[in-house]
Chain A
Amino acid sequence: MAIEGVDIVKAAAFLGAGISMGLGAIGPGVGEGMVAAKACEAIGKNPREAGLLTRTMLVGQAVSESTGIYSLVIALLLLFVV
């Protein structure tokens, strides 16, 4: 197996892309789940405010999503640009 410099760099970029998106997906997944669980609790306690609570949940999840999107961006950069 002939291994050259360019090959090693490409291989590391591919591995890095996978690790970046894989580990980066854990945090937002758990965090957004916590938000949804608390939103269910809040609606269970006060169903009349369901609309307001849904909106707050979605905004909170969108912020929590941002680190997942950073991971995706870094993974795509590693795959196609580097």
Chain B
Amino acid sequence: MDVHTVVTLSAFTGAGVAMGLGAIGAAIGEGYTAGEANTAISRNPEISGDIFKNMLVGQAVAESASIFALVIAVLMLFLDVPTDNLLKGAALFGAGLCMGFGAVGSGVGSGFPGGQACLGISRQPAAASRLTTGMLIGSAVCQTPAIFSMVIALMLIFMDFSHLPLAPTWAAILGAGLSTGLAAIGSGYGGGLAAGASCEGISRQPESVGNVTTVMLVGQAVAQTPSIFGLLVSFILIFKSFPESYTLQASMALLSAGVCMGFGGIGPGIGNGMAAEGAVRWVARNVENAGELMRIMLVGQAVSQSTAIYAMVVSLVLIFVV
């Protein structure tokens, strides 16, 4: 097999992985939205038009994560990339992994605000426009991890790696894709939990919308941090130049750094989102104690964050020390 065949092969495999994994999240999220919309319509059939409209808007936003994956897959199928270097093959496969995993969390997550906004409209038809606005803000923030993944995937597709040594750069490139892609799963899902709780809260207490949105945005911002750690490790792996080494350990240390930060970001992302969900839900029911709830949310999130920080430390040790 010559180099041209290998690079083309990994471009096609990468495209398949990107779209295959990338379709999981949005489909689940949109299914959740549609399911809740049905519940909402059965409770309050007179305003089925409003609920239906809101469902479609929510699903359209949730779809964006898998549209990113589609764009990356189509780019890899039809783009005329130079196929004279094996590193390009690693970069294209890494881009596919990054975008595929990266779209899962955001897709599932942005289904929650859509579903809760539909239920909320059936409960409180007068607050429909506030609920749609809250849903849009929440699910837009949910998309950030998928956008991080798309940025890394585009960088891997378009950057020129031909002047770098094959080993261990191949492992650094694959690790960069896995780090951002896997870490995005947790942050996207967690951000969605917070956004869903805010729509539920607004429908129960429409006058609490200001406090609820503030706590939701703070909670989502903290839930994004694991995916930002993933992005940081990816940038280091892409831009640091590693001396040529054909030992297995040099390559495995860099691949392992990406795997470590990627998986390590999933749990804290989901956990931070759960903490934000609890806080947002109870701020809506108990607005006088919003300050106290925000404080406990931040303390809880900080503790939940610690394992992502351990994972980042181990990644950085693998990159810089060993």
Are A47 and B307 within 8 A (Cβ)?
no
Given contacts A22-B259, A25-B264, A33-B271, contact A14 B314 (CB under 8 A): no
Are A29 and B296 within 8 A (Cβ)?
no
Bound CA span A68–B305, Å? 11
Are B260 and A17 within 8 A (Cβ)?
yes
Are A33 and B273 within 8 A (Cβ)?
yes
Are A50 and B318 within 8 A (Cβ)?
no
Are B306 and A68 within 8 A (Cβ)?
yes
Of chain B, the residue at the smallest CB distance from A72 is B310
A7 to chain B, nearest CB (A): 5
B34 to chain A, nearest CB (A): 26
Contact with B along A61-78 (1 / 0, CB 8 A): 110010011011001100
- Can you list the 4 inter-chain pairs with the closest CB atoms, starting with the nearest? A36-B300, A33-B271, A29-B267, A44-B282
Q: A10 — which chain B residues lie within 8 A by C-beta? A: 247-249, 252
Q: Which of B4-12, B79-87, B149-157, B286-294 contacts A (4 or more CB under 8 A)?
A: B286-294
Which of A12, A40, A68 is the most central at the interface, judged by chain B CB atoms within 10 Å of its CB?
A: A40
Q: B286 — which chain A residues lie within 8 A by C-beta? A: 44-45, 47
Q: B267 — which chain A residues lie within 8 A by C-beta? A: 25-30
Are B256 and A53 within 8 A (Cβ)?
no
User: Secondary structure at chain B's binding surface: helix, strand, loop or mixed?
Assistant: helix
Are B186 and A29 within 8 A (Cβ)?
yes
Residue of B253, B261, B270 touching A22 (CB-CB under 8 A): B261
A10 to chain B, nearest CB (A): 4
Are A25 and B263 within 8 A (Cβ)?
yes
Residue of A22, A35, A45 touching B300 (CB-CB under 8 A): A35
Residue of B257, B260, B275, B306 touching A36 (CB-CB under 8 A): B275
Of chain B, the residue at the smallest CB distance from A2 is B246
Are B247 and A7 within 8 A (Cβ)?
yes
Q: B322 — which chain A residues lie within 8 A by C-beta? A: 14, 79-80
Q: B317 — which chain A residues lie within 8 A by C-beta? A: 76, 79
Are B293 and A32 within 8 A (Cβ)?
no
Q: Does B167 contact A (CB under 8 A)?
A: yes
Q: Does B301 contact A (CB under 8 A)?
A: yes
Q: Does B299 contact A (CB under 8 A)?
A: yes
Q: B283 — which chain A residues lie within 8 A by C-beta? A: 44
Are A1 and B261 within 8 A (Cβ)?
no
Are A28 and B307 within 8 A (Cβ)?
yes
Are A11 and B268 within 8 A (Cβ)?
no
Q: Does B255 contact A (CB under 8 A)?
A: yes
Are A18 and B296 within 8 A (Cβ)?
no
A58 to chain B, nearest CB (A): 7
Are A79 and B299 within 8 A (Cβ)?
no
B303 to chain A, nearest CB (A): 4
Are B282 and A19 within 8 A (Cβ)?
no
Residue of B274, B303, B306 touching A30 (CB-CB under 8 A): B274
Q: Does B251 contact A (CB under 8 A)?
A: yes
B297 to chain A, nearest CB (A): 6
Q: A69 — which chain B residues lie within 8 A by C-beta? A: 310
Given contacts A15-B255, A79-B314, contact A22 B293 (CB under 8 A): no
Q: B308 — which chain A residues lie within 8 A by C-beta? A: 25, 29
Are B274 and A36 within 8 A (Cβ)?
yes
A61 to chain B, nearest CB (A): 4
Bound CA span A17–B190, Å? 26
Residue of A8, A19, A22, A37 touching B248 (CB-CB under 8 A): A8
Are A40 and B310 within 8 A (Cβ)?
no
Bound CA span A50–B299, Å? 13
Residue of A7, A29, A35 touching B269 (CB-CB under 8 A): A29
